[in-house]
Structure 1
């Protein structure tokens, strides 16, 4: 009888190797197809390098450039939308592939005139106008990117082509006959770009794709003969560049391998080796918004225009470093592109909280935040703070003093509200996500420099900031004279739990006082009506001096249940002098509700409904009635009524990092003008963060 010893038995035991850990990122390998559209976020320019009649260079009638150069279409929408497809290969987190797309265009603009400088006295400058049009683009690009979690960030490069039609209209003054010449051109150039996409399901991904297209300059071509005594053969050269931002929906028929869901609720535990020394987060937000036509018997230089669609895009990195215990350094570079409707003009409570007055047709990089934060713990109970945007994971005293110095947004610390404060995820109307009459100091993108101090306890917090103001209203340059012109904001925040609801809430009371280079409304109205100035805006510019504007706000947030919350705001300023930074509101009241989707098994979704009413002081009304132009509004005249807004949104959570929102707003009396509107606004928002 034979048997096995213990050692022999152990030798026969199957060796169990640990399972390979599942990758923490999507496998993007395989082919894909998709659709893309710009919704007003793409801009292009035809550049006529030299227009000649015979051997003479013709000055451009808009710019007066005597070389015949013309570049007048930079703000024109160019790409519209189309189809794309490609194939990816992946090695670890590194992704590379090839992609082709074909998409339509609508760049149609007059870009040059040949009337001026040819001896035609008193002739309409449009005597001969050259127009350029494009219809179709195509690209073939290589892509190289890096995958993490459900996201893919990539760069792209390759070939780009487009068609163009150049047309010249040439009336003969002697006979009245009109002739036209046309030249069809084909361009081939290069494209460079970058993008980000997020896996929503195993087969569907959403993304944003930016590309710069340079199609070079054509050789000289003829456009017929210009009639008249100073006429002759008409010829020109045309180049074309474009900045294009596309929202994309892609289908991956082979399926994407998704990473496992990560538990993001685990608390920070420094005792387990989590030092919380570094923090890296990011976000990107794309908003497309349109307004159909509305009643508008007249239009001024800062009026809302109907029948248009515009888009904005931002992408931000939140970088944090703990220098040593209690001391942290943060830096936020941010790309932004696009404009709000009517270039962010025409509504005092503007309808897109991501739209900047510093909009650009191309991605513009700014260092929006850089600041140091010093925390002084005062002992007692502590709290764990998880890693997040501009927050290194740490453990800190609940009772503490915090000092922040550098560049930041006052909205990061003041006038906060858990239900209505972030236009990237909740309400977008300026009069609902903020206290509209709070003229917080800021440059055009919304940031300032200064010092903030906060004292925090469990039941309340008190914070105060002393910051720079812009050199003049709606100026991107901050005034360096901080001891004579600056802004001060003080806020008291009370925290409570209502006993009959057993739900938390907060009440914030804020006061602000800004000294800036502004005009007094009553003074400039009087000077204009007395005939000292023909234009009230000239009177405002000529009489600006260091003047003080003061005001306050009340801000309430209250949870009713775990899923339902309500909010309300009231704000007021003195209304005597020009607003410096935010918008043209002297008094505002707003409120609304926010509901999570637990009742329909969508607990990560949110429904919001809010309303606001904005008003002007009597002297501010007189300023606009006499043709004044404010920070955002100015119809040239005014039939005054309070501006009222209603906003509703549904934020659909596609994943922990990706949210798709649908937004509707109704604005009655836009820019306080009963002669205009009401206007309806429809919007879509894609927000992703990590």
Structure 2
């Protein structure tokens, strides 16, 4: 453990001196949950006059991913909890998770393996401090959540290894690839280039203040050592700061939330225009130097009826430098609906429909046209640029308590921003079990 991260963890563990009085008499001292998810996807042959190193292959077979996770929780003292998430993973996404900036499976990591391998994906401490002497609300037992009272007005500090999007850019209807939509640019804000290793996790700390209808959260996280890297910069020399403001509201008695997010990253990253030196291959790795990247996201969710909800996200970053840890998107818009099955006498079923549009900045278009490669895309040329347009529909159904199955269909128009290739129709199935 590096010295800066050790200091952050020790600071969090020292917080019990500030923790407010809470009724832990009814709180669980520990819990254990688990999950198992398999996703299988395949696409049909599509128009592809040429392919490059990072292209979605025009012809390939069925691809599957599997992950099994244990969620271990332990209460340390009043308001303090420790969580560990060991996980086994196996498999590959389509084209080894390449070829589409809005990739069709959120269960596919940027690394794959034919054999199962284990990792400790999350290891973090959480301290909740009451801001008022109230009983608050009862918190149900769940994965990474111990049952017990939770103050309504509170300060929550989280330190350790976890995913930035565990806390930021969440959405009730589109955020969990194990339960709802699968496409990357639907479950997350596409232009939010959040800090992460190749599996989607980072080291850092976050503080969340909740009072009444308002919640504000800030975080500081380690970026990977190099774009899309498997190792994080544990010295925090390459880092990201994130802030988000959330407001809960009701419209005609139906709850909703609006979130405004901003982020700023500092790292060694290449500028697209500087990578286009005459006579040399287009390559951002050749021109990496200390630089910054900024962006924002607007995220809304709204219940429209008892079983119907809608969501919308818009995100944008400056687009001058290469994508660092998420995907090659500089502007993104997604919206959709989620309908529970009570309308057709199947309350355990859900139908989801979503549309997403992703685009590149002008410098990035020139870079990819010259044969440059990004994190996920790069056909070796880009004669006719066009924004990615994605449509996704899923139907999820409960098979038994704790066991569900999902059918998923996606249409990927202009994969990799290339109007000469596609569209690709991706058919998928998901099996998910949890306890």
TM-score range, shorter chain: over 0.9
Q: What is the CA–CA distance in structure 2 between the aligned matches of 1:283 and 1:623, rounded to whole Å? A: 41
Aligned residue for 1:523, secondary structure, equals helix
Q: Is structure 2 residue 260 aligned with structure 1 residue 552?
A: no
Aligned residue for 1:506, secondary structure, equals strand
Equivalent pair of 2:65/2:107 in contact (CA under 8 Å): yes
- Which of 591, 595, 613 is the equivalent residue of 2:339? 595
Q: Is structure 2 residue 95 aligned with structure 1 residue 350?
A: no
Equivalent pair of 2:176/2:187 in contact (CA under 8 Å): yes
Counterpart for residue 478 of structure 1: 232
Counterpart for residue 15 of structure 1: none
Q: How does 1:624-643 map to 2 (within 5 A)?
A: 624-638=368-382, 639-643=384-388
Q: What is the Cα deviation at residue 481 of structure 1?
A: 3.4
Q: Please, which runs of 5 or more residues in structure 2 have no aligned partner?
A: 1-21
Q: What is the CA–CA distance in structure 1 between the aligned matches of 2:430 and 2:106, rounded to whole Å? A: 11
Q: How does 1:306-321 map to 2 (within 5 A)?
A: 306-307=58-59, 308-321=61-74
Aligned residue for 2:200, secondary structure, equals coil
Counterpart for residue 511 of structure 1: 262
- Which of 313, 320, 345 is the equivalent residue of 1:569? 313
Q: Is structure 2 residue 411 aligned with structure 1 residue 661?
A: no
Counterpart for residue 282 of structure 2: 536
**Pair 275,502 (structure 1): closer, same or farther in 2 beyond 3 Å:** closer
Counterpart for residue 415 of structure 2: 670
Q: What is the CA–CA distance in structure 1 between the aligned matches of 2:247 and 2:240, rounded to whole Å? A: 23
Q: Is structure 2 residue 394 aligned with structure 1 residue 649?
A: yes
Counterpart for residue 414 of structure 1: 168
Q: What is the CA–CA distance in structure 2 between the aligned matches of 1:315 and 1:419, rounded to whole Å? A: 23
Equivalent pair of 1:270/1:276 in contact (CA under 8 Å): no
Q: What is the Cα deviation at residue 545 of structure 1?
A: 1.3
Equivalent pair of 1:574/1:586 in contact (CA under 8 Å): yes
Q: What is the CA–CA distance in structure 2 between the aligned matches of 1:345 and 1:646, rounded to whole Å? A: 18
- Which of 368, 377, 380 is the equivalent residue of 2:130? 377
Q: Provide the TM-score with structure 1 as the length reference.
A: 0.59
Q: Which has the higher helix share?
A: 2
Q: What is the CA–CA distance in structure 2 between the aligned matches of 1:497 and 1:380, rounded to whole Å? A: 26
**Pair 274,399 (structure 1): closer, same or farther in 2 beyond 3 Å:** closer
User: Is the radius of gyration larger for structure 1 or structure 2?
Assistant: 1
Equivalent pair of 2:27/2:149 in contact (CA under 8 Å): no
Q: What is the CA–CA distance in structure 1 between the aligned matches of 2:145 and 2:290, rounded to whole Å? A: 37
Deviation string, structure 1 residues 545-579 (Cα, Å, up to 9, x no partner): 12111000000000011100000000000000011
Counterpart for residue 454 of structure 1: 208
Q: What is the Cα deviation at residue 480 of structure 1?
A: 2.9
Q: What is the Cα deviation at residue 380 of structure 1?
A: 3.9
Q: Please, which runs of 5 or more residues in structure 1 have no aligned partner?
A: 1-268
Q: How does 1:105-120 map to 2 (within 5 A)?
A: none
Deviation string, structure 1 residues 298-344 (Cα, Å, up to 9, x no partner): 01001001332100001000000001111111000011100100000
Q: What is the CA–CA distance in structure 2 between the aligned matches of 1:558 and 1:491, rounded to whole Å? A: 18
Q: Which has the higher strand share?
A: 1
Aligned residue for 1:604, secondary structure, equals coil
Q: Is structure 2 residue 339 aligned with structure 1 residue 618?
A: no
Q: What is the Cα deviation at residue 492 of structure 1?
A: 0.4
Aligned residue for 2:349, secondary structure, equals strand
Runs of 4+ off more than 6 Å? none
- The count of residues paired between Structure 1 and Structure 2 equals 411
Counterpart for residue 35 of structure 2: 283
Q: Is structure 2 residue 233 aligned with structure 1 residue 495?
A: no
Q: What is the Cα deviation at residue 396 of structure 1?
A: 1.9
Counterpart for residue 70 of structure 1: none
* Aligned-residue RMSD, C-alpha: 1.2
Equivalent pair of 1:521/1:620 in contact (CA under 8 Å): yes
Q: What is the Cα deviation at residue 270 of structure 1?
A: 7.0
Counterpart for residue 5 of structure 2: none
Q: What is the Cα deviation at residue 274 of structure 1?
A: 4.1
Q: What is the Cα deviation at residue 379 of structure 1?
A: 1.6
Equivalent pair of 2:224/2:238 in contact (CA under 8 Å): no
Q: What is the CA–CA distance in structure 1 between the aligned matches of 2:212 and 2:394, rounded to whole Å? A: 33
Q: What is the CA–CA distance in structure 2 between the aligned matches of 1:481 and 1:516, rounded to whole Å? A: 12
Aligned residue for 2:81, secondary structure, equals strand
Q: Which has the higher relative contact order, 1 or 2, with Cα contacts under 8 A spaced 6 or more apart? A: 2
Q: What is the CA–CA distance in structure 2 between the aligned matches of 1:292 and 1:575, rounded to whole Å? A: 32
Q: What is the Cα deviation at residue 542 of structure 1?
A: 2.1
